[in-house]
């Protein structure tokens, strides 16, 4: 990873952390979010995963106005470091702690592969 890529990655992490802290209190069941990116091909490899505690909370969120607001704010964070989601259906994912526990015994590293 180049120095420029490291700097952009740090900026992206800071932006997403701030977003996570803001929404952790406002969206019912919202737990955390994470990203994956290969800086050799950032636009194609970028994925954002938004994690909720329970399946029911995620289901309620998916049909809410809060979803479009959060997605706009995620796009804003990405734009601030020169990135965008070209295909939100594939690059913006939603998951729950409940599903990770059920299928991967709480091992997020394994689940996010």
Q: How many domains does the chain have?
A: 1
User: How many Å apart are CA 20 and CA 14, to the nearest integer?
Assistant: 10
Identify the pLDDT of residue 22.
Answer: 85
Give 8-36 as a 3 state SS string: HHHHHHHHHHHHHHHHHHHCCCEEEEEEE
**Contact status, residue 100 vs residue 58, Cβ threshold 8 Å:** no
Which residues constitute the domain of residue 76? 3-111
Mean pLDDT across the chain: 93
pLDDT band at 83 (very low <50, low <70, confident <90, very high): very high
User: How many Å apart are CA 36 and CA 86, to the nearest integer?
Assistant: 15
The CATH number of the domain holding residue 29 is: 3.30.300.30
Identify the pLDDT of residue 25.
Answer: 81
Residue 85 carries which DSSP code?
Answer: -
Identify the pLDDT of residue 27.
Answer: 93
Model confidence over 26-81: pLDDT tens digits? 899 999 999 999 999 998 999 999 999 999 999 999 999 999 999 999 999 999 98
């Amino acid at each position: 990873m180049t120095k420029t890529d490291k700097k952009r990655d740090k900026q992206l992490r800071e932006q997403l952390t701030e977003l996570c802290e803001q929404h952790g209190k406002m969206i019912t069941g919202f737990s955390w979010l994470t990203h994956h990116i290969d800086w050799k091909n950032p636009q194609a490899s970028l994925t954002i995963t938004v994690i909720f505690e329970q399946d029911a909370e995620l289901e309620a969120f998916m049909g809410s106005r809060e979803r479009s607001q959060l997605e706009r704010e995620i796009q804003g964070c990405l734009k601030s470091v020169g990135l965008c989601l070209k295909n939100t259906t594939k690059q913006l994912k939603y998951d729950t702690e409940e599903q990770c526990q059920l299928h991967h015994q709480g091992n997020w590293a394994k689940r996010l592969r």
